[in-house]
Amino acid sequence: MPNYCVVFGCSNIACTKNRVSLFKIPFRNDDRPEAKRRRKLWVNFVTRTRKKWKPGTNSSICSAHFTEESFQRRFNTLPGMSGTYVPMLMRDDFGINASPSVYHFSRRYSELY
């Protein structure tokens, strides 16, 4: 199970208290052209700052790297019942159609460039 964000400079782990979720890089071993295109967006996001990085089976990106518009609003209980927010990335008939676009660099990294 993935347990940390693979984006350079990010040290986030999944934590419901801090509202941080991890999302596996989608469409692994999917040879359809649209699946390859969508997966490439995620991989390219990481390789912008980690040039030689290659995605593994459990490579994940945390929710901090997505805009608010990237999420669907879903809850794990019915209205009126207590429950927790379950973040889900936007989907269409093909699958996940959201991609990461927000970088949060540490001060040390941003001073280098």
Contacts with 3 (C-beta within 8 Å, 6 or more apart), sequence order = 13, 14, 22
pLDDT at position 87, please?
Answer: 79
Judge whether 64 and 75 are in contact, CB under 8 Å.
Answer: no
Which tens digit of pLDDT belongs to each residue from 3-59?
899 999 898 999 888 889 999 999 999 999 999 999 999 999 999 989 999 999 999
Judge whether 14 and 24 are in contact, CB under 8 Å.
Answer: no
Q: Is the dihedral of CA 77, 82, 87, 91 positive or negative?
A: positive
pLDDT at position 83, please?
Answer: 58
Which tens digit of pLDDT belongs to each residue from 78-105?
566 555 666 789 999 999 999 999 987 6
Judge whether 63 and 87 are in contact, CB under 8 Å.
Answer: yes
